[in-house]
Structure 1
Amino acid sequence: MKTIATLSWKSVFNRKTTAILSILTVAISVILLLGVERIRTQAKSSFANTISGTDLIVGGRSGQVNLLLYSVFRIGNATNNIDWKSFEEFSHHRAVKWAIPISLGDSHKGFRVMGTNQDYFKFYKYGRKQPLTFAKGKPFHHLFDAVIGSDVARKLGYKIGSKMIIAHGISDVGFTRHDHLPFSVVGILAPTGTPVDRTVHVSLAAIEAIHVGWESGAHIGKTPDAKTLEQRHFQPTQITAMLLGLKSRIMAFALQREINEYRKEPLSAIMPGVALQELWGMMSVAEQALMAVSVFVVIAGLMGMLSSLLTSLQERRREMAILRAMGAQPKHIFALLMSEASALTLIGIIVGLTGVYGLMFLIAPVIHNHYGILITPEMLTPHEWLLLGYVQLAGMLIGVVPSLRAYRQSLSDGMTIRI
């Protein structure tokens, strides 16, 4: 076996160009297969880790996926707002331990602005019930204080004391900006790998203050200056959504039903985990399609390697005959070709793995900045090892075809080659 392995490596080395092409086809197949699998699983993990410890999310009447996307992931917009009185009623409900109000609708240079209160920094958790922590500064206290996520600070170069102008709506253009009401950065949150990193947090009172003189997205009146507004007391009339933590999870279904049947205004209460499962169900067709494409690319790569081995086999018939003359048996010829196919597949897998991790290091920051999905170069999971095992097995099975052909030819050719 040692002699066969040595011959196999020398044979592969002597056909460097063909071998490199075969290795690259397998490597590209592995990169696509593992890349799709890694992005799929880590996207799910990143989404699932965005919110933790929240039992119910309440918003205007809508589908639960839509409510989850705009309230937690800052994707899309709310269909309706919630009356502040409804928030106060449910925040004091006997089953509710804490409640966090959320007001969305404004932005700053492409980042969403969220109005909330101090309870957000106290009760909001992500990952495995990890609390929000400050890398620098402290929570907002004054009317025009702002707390920014780590991505906002890094991309815009903001520090404690930096001034920022909030724009009305998602489009940050000149005529929608609240130019005369600058906010001051008083806190920068530590990285979380969630949409929190890409959010500007201000108080609910600040959201009300900057919209004095605005109606339906249009600036129709005069807005007082910052000093005048700071002397006034602002009470929100509406919010976008609220996050609820319950005293006991057993009460979740009863409270959810009570909120969904609330008669004073149409509300929807969802459980984050259930809404995520529905989201994955909606995406399952796309996941299966991507995986099918990846599998076909692997098959195409292995077929390319098969074509290369068969093409080179015709040129190596004299080599096989000489090996027979030197005492090699047909089973040795078979083993030689099998070991070559196995070696090419294994090297292709190793090169592919290197490429996967290299690409992850390169594109992970881009995916995180644009989509908020945290892709980390973790060790291979058992499922990924299984996929690589299938690729290696498929490569060995592909090697059976040229190996059998070489076996039969070595029996019939002898030293006389029929070309």
Structure 2
Amino acid sequence: MFNLCYKSLLNRRFIAALTVLSIALSVALIVGVERLRTEARAGFANSASGIDLIIAARGNDVQILMATVFGVGTTGAGISWDSYEMIEDLPQISWTVPIMMGDNHRGYPVIGTSEQYFDHFRHSGGQQLIFAEGVPFKSPDGAVIGAKVAQAFGYTSGTEIVNAHGSGEVAFDVHDEAPFTVTGVLGHTGTAVDRMVFVSLDGFDALHEEPAVAVADPFALVDAPEVAEEHEDHDHVELDEPDEHEEGHQEHDDRHAHGSGHEDEGQTVTTSDGHDHDGHDHEPGTINAIFAGLEEKTAVLSVQRQLADHRDEALTAVLPNVALLQLWSITSTAETALRLMAGAVAVAGMIGMVVMLSASLDNRRREFAILRSVGATPAGVFYLILLEAVLLLSAGIVLGVIALSALTLVIDPLLAANFGLRIGVGVPSFREVLLIAIVFCSGLLASIIPALRVYRMTLSDGLSVRL
């Protein structure tokens, strides 16, 4: 029966091939939409793990999440360094990491931060960042790059890179007068970190000094107060004078360092909790956001309330998981539309198969009569049509899965480079297998229509008296 079915389909190979292609397209689309949805959610959740709060200027939670964690967009206004010190001194706060944004390296976002970023940032359910080679930056002109950046351009430790002002592919001002030296390459994480470049707060700030000061050596500002005197009219440079209040605050190149004791000017101040506090934005004393960890998870609401009531500055404390839920609610409409489109394609494929099987029935009456003459029963001919449908569905499903895998290999680097998402080629998940089974069963049920028609046709032909 199988050999007979195969030869019958081979005799109608053009129409059969079109049917297989339509089924393959529907399978690839349905499974592809589901895989993209699940992997996108998993990738986003993995990127935001380990962060209890993201604190930024008052704004939209989703926008803040996308800008700080995924390097897409911007937070808008900045936060003063005084507010940063206030936040890190809250008793509920365990650790803080300042974040500065606004530059890019050949389309990849550049993040200004401190070395504590690599100690506290977690991904994929709590995994710590690991250096594939090198170490964190130790000087203002040092940089740490993600695995995707290193792979895209062949960078290694010791490579000099040049950043530009602007986000994405937009470069308003290329800072070729202030190159950075790669000190470390992060291991692959499968998150947005892979496509980021990290520099120190001092290095990020030095890029945005006035050209007349920065061209010769933009990083010399840290140890050259005499240069600042010559340019005291600029808002971006101030004299390196200690604060008159002995409260643990000092200014140095528009940068405040807070702690239990003072060190020499131009040096990082370490508080009793062991955290180093260094960095400032090119706008005096401002940063874009703060990653924060809590001593107790239950304190999140009290911290949110304190920051919302902060009178000196309008602040927002974003819970990453809540912001992700908001993001899913925004994208749910698009997900539903994609699913409906995939379902419509699947229905079209099933209809095409039924039409192909039904349209050929009248032309195959001679074939069925011959089968009956050699002993085939109406039930046998019925099963023959079902077997043809099974072969068409199986071929379409296999071709669809292969096509999806090939397409994934092509678009995966693009998704990783632009959105920090990676679908990957692997064994289909349970949900994907379930969707494939639904397509198969739906096609098999649809094939019953032409099979019943054949059964009645052969039964009628067998009972008719022909002269």
TM-score normalized with structure 2 length: 0.83
Deviation digits for residues 338-376 of structure 1, max 9, x if unmatched?
A: 121122112211221122222212221222122211111
Q: Which residue is equivalent to 1:87?
A: 84
CA distance in 1: counterparts of 2:306 and 2:288, whole angstroms: 19
Are 2:232 and 1:241 equivalent residues in the alignment? no
Identity of aligned residues (%): 39
How do 1:207-246 residues align onto structure 2 when only pairs under 5 Å count? 207-213=204-210, 221-223=212-214, 225-226=216-217, 228-232=220-224, 233-234=252-253, 235=255, 236=280, 237-246=285-294
Partners of 1:56 and 1:243 within 8 A in 2? yes
| Structure 2 SS opposite 1:316 | helix
Are 2:363 and 1:363 equivalent residues in the alignment? no
CA pair 303-173 structure 1, distance change in 2 beyond 3 A: closer
CA drift at 1:287: 0.3
CA drift at 1:417: 11
CA distance in 2: counterparts of 1:366 and 1:168, whole angstroms: 23
CA drift at 1:37: 1.2
CA pair 52-175 structure 1, distance change in 2 beyond 3 A: closer
Decide which of 312, 315, 319 is 1:271's aligned counterpart: 319
Are 2:121 and 1:124 equivalent residues in the alignment? yes
Q: Which amino acid aligns with 1:182?
A: P
Give the stretch that moved more between structures: 95-104 or 179-188: 179-188
Deviation digits for residues 159-195 of structure 1, max 9, x if unmatched?
A: 2212122222337778712232221111111111222
Are 2:335 and 1:335 equivalent residues in the alignment? no
CA distance in 1: counterparts of 2:63 and 2:171, whole angstroms: 29
CA distance in 1: counterparts of 2:61 and 2:308, whole angstroms: 12
Q: Which residue is equivalent to 1:151?
A: 148
Q: Which residue is equivalent to 2:227?
A: none
Where is the helix percentage greater, Structure 1 or Structure 2?
Answer: 1
CA drift at 1:313: 1.3
Q: Which amino acid aligns with 2:201?
A: L
CA distance in 2: counterparts of 1:270 and 1:210, whole angstroms: 29
CA pair 89-37 structure 1, distance change in 2 beyond 3 A: same
Q: Which amino acid aligns with 2:453?
A: R
CA pair 15-320 structure 1, distance change in 2 beyond 3 A: same
CA distance in 2: counterparts of 1:366 and 1:169, whole angstroms: 21
CA drift at 1:5: 3.9
| Structure 2 SS opposite 1:49 | helix
Partners of 2:307 and 2:315 within 8 A in 1? yes
CA pair 12-88 structure 1, distance change in 2 beyond 3 A: same
CA pair 183-302 structure 1, distance change in 2 beyond 3 A: same
CA distance in 1: counterparts of 2:150 and 2:423, whole angstroms: 20
CA distance in 2: counterparts of 1:405 and 1:71, whole angstroms: 62
CA distance in 2: counterparts of 1:18 and 1:269, whole angstroms: 60
CA drift at 1:97: 1.0
Give the stretch that moved more between structures: 39-48 or 149-158: 149-158
Partners of 1:322 and 1:415 within 8 A in 2? no
CA pair 122-101 structure 1, distance change in 2 beyond 3 A: same
Deviation digits for residues 55-99 of structure 1, max 9, x if unmatched?
A: 111001001111111111111112210111111111121111111
CA drift at 1:129: 0.7
How do 1:4-403 residues align onto structure 2 when only pairs under 5 Å count? 4-170=1-167, 176-213=173-210, 221-223=212-214, 225-226=216-217, 228-232=220-224, 233-234=252-253, 235=255, 236=280, 237-403=285-451
CA pair 174-355 structure 1, distance change in 2 beyond 3 A: closer
Q: Which residue is equivalent to 2:246?
A: none
Give the stretch that moved more between structures: 396-405 or 151-160: 151-160
Partners of 1:137 and 1:186 within 8 A in 2? yes
Aligned length: 409
RMSD of aligned Cα (Å): 2.0
CA distance in 2: counterparts of 1:80 and 1:172, whole angstroms: 22
* Unaligned 5+ runs, structure 1: 214-218
